[in-house]
Structure 1
Amino acid sequence: MTTDGALARLIRSSADRTAAARTEVCDLCAAPVADEHAHLYDTGQDEVRCVCGPCSVLFAGAGAGAGQYRLVPRRRVRLPAVDTAALGVPVGLVFFVPRADGTVTAQGPSPAGAMRWEVDAAAWKELARTCPQLATVEPEVEALLVNTVHGLDHHWIAPIDDCYRMIAVVRREWRGLSGGGRIWPAVERFFEDLTERS
């Protein structure tokens, strides 16, 4: 065996490991997943997990997984303007997540991750009374996603994984103290993509 052959194998092996590390896998069975794949919400860990098609079928029914894992729905519904001022959250890029216990949290992106607020449950119920579609938001796995920054007017019922994806966009693009010049065009592209996927 030559040194050149061993080096070539080592380089190929390293490239294969790097590619494998980039390939997303199912968090339940470790099978590779496509770029567009389903997600489960882990109620115990309060996080989203990637899941392959066969594993997602296991959690499609109500009560599947003893409630620990819930399949994240795929619906995206653009709403007319919703006046969220009564919810008391001081930012224009935020999502509101109703919980199974009746509480509601708001989360907004920052360079360090998600900022989180508790929202008055009575104010949420009143808002749902004025916008009946909000009463259909599935607790923990769907959210009211809002972007009113720079005069935009986006109000969506969106899957929770889309909301976390928006936080990832902000973290990836944020520069300096104010966010820099890349952040808001990236957020606008995120909402354009949301429109195309709905």
Structure 2
Amino acid sequence: MSADGALARVVRSAAERAATAETERCELCAARVAAEHPHLYDTGAAEVRCVCGPCSVLFADGAAGEGRYRLVPRRRLRLPRVDTAVLGVPVGLVFFVPRSDGSVTAQGPSPAGAMRWEVDAAAWRELAATVPQLAAMTPDVEALLVNTVRGLDEHWIVPVDDCYRMTAVVRREWRGLSGGGRVWSAVERFFGDLTERS
């Protein structure tokens, strides 16, 4: 997935969203979209696309578009602690995305965008066997979002667009080599604002 392309399309601060709400358009029909709007995952381009409500309904059951577009769900589910150490990713702020082809990627936000690793698919399957919610994730469009930085222990299943918003927070707030004082407070606020929804 092209994180920078998705960030450019999906992620804006609340002020930027309000300022551009009148001009932001559905990428399928060109209708204006609200500040909070649905997204589609474009499997051909590996990018997230903004869509209006009526266009999103076309993809709700997965039949439209011959599989090229997948509706990004709105579900957020807070999980108890998940031992992701078995996945071999050495960072505390990361999201894991299972893919339609059976592979799994891990992406960690950085001042330059999302860093990406391939995760051992067998290790992911073993972990999902112990955490049934992981096995039920929708490939390509849902992620396991983890934050164990600075003593936090946050584990969520979220839509991938939430992950891009979090990556944008890190890019916007990062200062110097270590991130500075602002970035981690902003990340904590981001996680504090997450709410469960079905």
Between 1 and 2, higher relative CO (CA 8 Å, sep ≥ 6) is seen in 2
CA-based RMSD of the aligned residues comes to 1.6
Which structure 2 segments of 5+ residues have no match? 1-18
Task: Tell me what 1:146 maps to.
Answer: 146
Alpha-carbon deviation of 1:27?
Answer: 1.4
Task: Tell me what 1:182 maps to.
Answer: 182
**In structure 2, C-alpha distance between the alignment counterparts of 1:195 and 1:39, rounded to whole Å:** 19
Task: Tell me what 1:167 maps to.
Answer: 167
Task: Tell me what 1:85 maps to.
Answer: 85
Instruction: Give the letter for the 1:69 counterpart.
Output: Y
Task: Tell me what 2:49 maps to.
Answer: 49
Describe the SS at the equivalent of 2:194.
helix
Kindly, what percent of the aligned residue pairs are identical? Answer: 81
Alpha-carbon deviation of 1:62?
Answer: 2.0
Alpha-carbon deviation of 1:23?
Answer: 3.6
Of 36-45 and 20-29, more deviation after overlay is shown by: 20-29
Superposed counterparts of 1:64-79, under 5 Å: 64-79=64-79
Describe the SS at the equivalent of 2:48.
strand
In structure 2, do the counterparts of structure 1 residues 96 and 196 end up closer, same or farther at CA, with 3 Å as the change threshold? Answer: closer
Instruction: Give the letter for the 1:116 counterpart.
Output: R
Task: Tell me what 1:30 maps to.
Answer: 30
**In structure 2, C-alpha distance between the alignment counterparts of 1:45 and 1:123, rounded to whole Å:** 27
In structure 2, do the counterparts of structure 1 residues 104 and 69 end up closer, same or farther at CA, with 3 Å as the change threshold? Answer: same
Normalising by structure 1, we get a TM-score of: 0.86
Of 182-191 and 59-68, more deviation after overlay is shown by: 59-68
Describe the SS at the equivalent of 2:180.
coil
* Matched pairs, number: 180
Alpha-carbon deviation of 1:107?
Answer: 0.4
Describe the SS at the equivalent of 2:74.
coil
Instruction: Give the letter for the 2:75 counterpart.
Output: R
Alpha-carbon deviation of 1:24?
Answer: 2.2
Which structure 1 segments of 5+ residues have no match? 1-18
Task: Tell me what 2:120 maps to.
Answer: 120
Q: Deviations over 1:31-59 (max 9, x none)?
A: 22112110001111111111101111111
Task: Show structure 1 runs of 4+ deviating over 2 A.
Answer: 19-24, 195-198
Instruction: Give the letter for the 2:166 counterpart.
Output: M
Of 114-123 and 63-72, more deviation after overlay is shown by: 63-72
Instruction: Give the letter for the 1:61 counterpart.
Output: D
Task: Tell me what 2:13 maps to.
Answer: none
Instruction: Give the letter for the 2:168 counterpart.
Output: A
Describe the SS at the equivalent of 1:195.
coil
